[in-house]
Amino acid sequence: MNPPLLAPLAASTLGTSGAFDQQGRLWVAHAGDDGIALHSSADEGHSWTPPRQVLPKPEAVEANGETRPKIAFGPQDQLYLGYIQALGKHHSVRR
């Protein structure tokens, strides 16, 4: 079985992460050319919401291995999304 969301994301699997919230909804964050897209599924991945871009403007996002976007949930149904912005040089800092 190939859920509909997974086929388009096949080329970017290193930049993808997922997590279930307290109600059992599956959330997937995917790093792409325009930043981070967020999708969710209430039926364990059989159907998905349309992708939502979560960054206010397009920016480069690190998406290799452990630098992929991360999803976490707070005690009152908050969704937290962590990511690393890709800057030109390794270990550079934006000022």
Q: For residue range 3-23, what is the model confidence (pLDDT) as tens digits? A: 555 555 444 456 889 999 999
The pLDDT confidence band at residue 1, using thresholds 50, 70 and 90, is very low
Cα–Cα distance measured from residue 60 to residue 4, given in angstroms and rounded to the nearest whole number: 25
For residue 40, the one-letter residue type is S
How far, in Å, CA of 41 to CA of 5, rounded?
Answer: 10
pLDDT of residue 90: 67
- Give the best-scoring range by mean pLDDT among 31-40, 41-50, 85-94: 41-50
Dihedral of CA atoms 67, 71, 74, 76 in degrees, nearest 10, equals 160
pLDDT given for residue 32 in this prediction: 82
